[in-house]
Amino acid sequence: MKFVDEAKIYVKAGHGGKGCVSFRREKFIPHGGPDGGDGGKGGDVIFRAAKSHHTLLDLKYQQHQIAKSGSHGSGNNRTGASADDLEVVLPVGTIIKDFETGEILADLSELNQTFIVAKGGIGGKGNAHFTSSTHQTPRFAQDGMEGDELCLKLELKLLADCGIVGFPNAGKSTFISRVSAAKPKIADYPFTTLTPHLGVVKYSDSKSFVLADIPGLISGAHEGLGMGIQFLKHVERTSVLLHLIDISEAANNNAWANFTAINKELAHYNPQMMGKKQIVALNKIDLPFVKERVKKEVALFKKKGIILHPFSAVTGEGTKEILNKIITILSQAENESSNE
C-alpha cells in the first residue's frame, strides 16, 4: 500500500431543503389555510479518526467529499427528511487545515475523535409559519440555507512514543524489526526505508509502546537533499528520540560528527525537536572495526555529557538496555503528564 501523508480535498455540506407553499384543500373546509411544511436539514461532513486507516491514500483520489441535501417540505405540514451526515474516516494523527489560510481547524490525535468540518444548511420554513392576523394566505416560503464548503489540507503525523533517527544504513529498520513485529524492507544500500514504519514493542503483559522508523537523514536534508526531511513530522509528537550511529563505513566513521550532523538537521527542521530527550546508541558492535573503537567512543561522548549505548541490532546485544532506557523515559513522561 502506498504511503500518503498529505492530501488536498474539497468538502461541501448539504443544502437545507426548501420550505413548501401549500394550502389545505379538503371537502367541506373551504378556507383550510396554509399548510406548507419545512425543508429538511442538509447533511454535515464529519471527520472521524480510526485505526482502520494508516494513510491518506483514499482521499488522494477522492478529493471531493459532498454531503447530501435535505428534502423539500410538502403539504399537510410535512417536514422534509434531513439528509444523513457524511462521515469521512481518517488515520489517527491527522491534522486538518484550511487550505487558504493554513489555520489548524482540528487535530485528530485520539482514536474515534470526531470533528464536524462542514455543517449542513438548515431547512427553509414552509408558508404555514408566516400566517398572521393580517396575512392569512402567505404565498411564499423560505429556501433552505446553503451548507458550508471549503478546501482543506490534511497532514498525517504518525503517533509514536519513540522515533528513530540517524543516517541511512544506521540500522534503524533492523532494530525495529528485532524489537517489534514490524517487517520493514532491509538492504545494504542507501534509503532502503522509503516510507515510515511503526512497530509496537511489548515490554510487559499489559504495557507497550510504539516505535517509528523514518527514512534516513543526510547532511543538507533541510535544504531538500535526500528524503528523510519530509518524514520528520512523524517524530515531532514522540516523547523520546532514539539516535542511532553507525561508524562501520569509512565515509562516516566519526561518531561525534554523525551525532552533531543529524542534530543540526533536526534543529533546522524544528528547533523544538532539540528539546526532546535523546537516547544515543552506537550500532553494529558485532563488527570488528566498531568493537575495537567502542570504549574510545563511549569515553568521548561521556566527556561531552552524553551516555553512548553500544549495541548490535543484528545479534541483539545491548538492545535490552536501550529498551529499558526508552521505557524509563516514557514512564517519567507519563507520570509528569498525570501530575499536571
Model confidence pLDDT, tens digit, residues 284-296: 999 998 999 999 9
Whether this model's pTM surpasses 0.75: no
- 45 contact partners, CB below 8 Å, separation of at least 6: 11, 12, 13, 65, 67, 85, 86, 88, 116, 117, 118, 148
Is residue 192 packed enough to be buried (19+ CB in 10 Å), middle (13-18) or exposed (0-12)?
A: middle
Inform me whether the pLDDT recorded for 181 exceeds 50.
Answer: yes
pLDDT tens by residue, 291-322: 999 999 999 999 999 999 999 988 999 999 99
Cell of 266: 533536526
Where does 136-230 show beta strands of DSSP type E? 149-156, 162-165, 197-202, 208-213
Instruction: Please report which confidence band the pLDDT of residue 233 belongs to, taking 50, 70 and 90 as the band edges.
Output: confident
pLDDT at residue 2, as a whole number? 52
Where does 39-148 show beta strands of DSSP type E? 45-50, 64-66, 86-91, 94-98, 104-108, 114-118
Q: Give the helix ranges, DSSP H, for the chain.
A: 57-61, 172-179, 255-269, 288-303, 319-339
pLDDT at residue 73, as a whole number? 95
* Of 139, 124, 145, 146, residue with least CA distance to 38: 124
- Strands of the sheet containing 240-245, edge to edge, are 197-202, 208-213, 162-165, 240-245, 277-282, 308-310
Lowest mean pLDDT among 26-30, 60-64, 274-278: 26-30
Is residue 247 packed enough to be buried (19+ CB in 10 Å), middle (13-18) or exposed (0-12)?
A: buried
Distance linking the first and last C-alpha atoms of the chain: 40
Inform me whether the pLDDT recorded for 1 exceeds 60.
Answer: no
Q: How many helices (H) and strands (E) does the chain have?
A: 5, 14
Complete domains list, the chain, with CATH: 6-156 (2.70.210.12), 162-339 (3.40.50.300)
Higher per-residue confidence, 219 vs 243: 243
CB 222 within 8 A of CB 145: no
pLDDT at residue 210, as a whole number? 83
Provide the residue type at 210 as one letter: V
Where does 113-157 show beta strands of DSSP type E? 114-118, 149-156
CB 47 within 8 A of CB 106: yes
DSSP designation for 34: B
pLDDT tens by residue, 114-157: 999 999 999 999 999 999 888 888 999 999 999 999 999 998 88
Q: How many CA atoms lie within 13 A of 68 on its CB side?
A: 11
pLDDT at residue 184, as a whole number? 46
pLDDT at residue 194, as a whole number? 47
CB 42 within 8 A of CB 15: yes
pLDDT tens by residue, 247-284: 887 667 889 999 998 888 888 888 888 888 999 999 99
Pairing, β 162-165 against β 208-213: parallel
Inform me whether the pLDDT recorded for 3 exceeds 80.
Answer: no
Inform me whether the pLDDT recorded for 67 exceeds 90.
Answer: yes
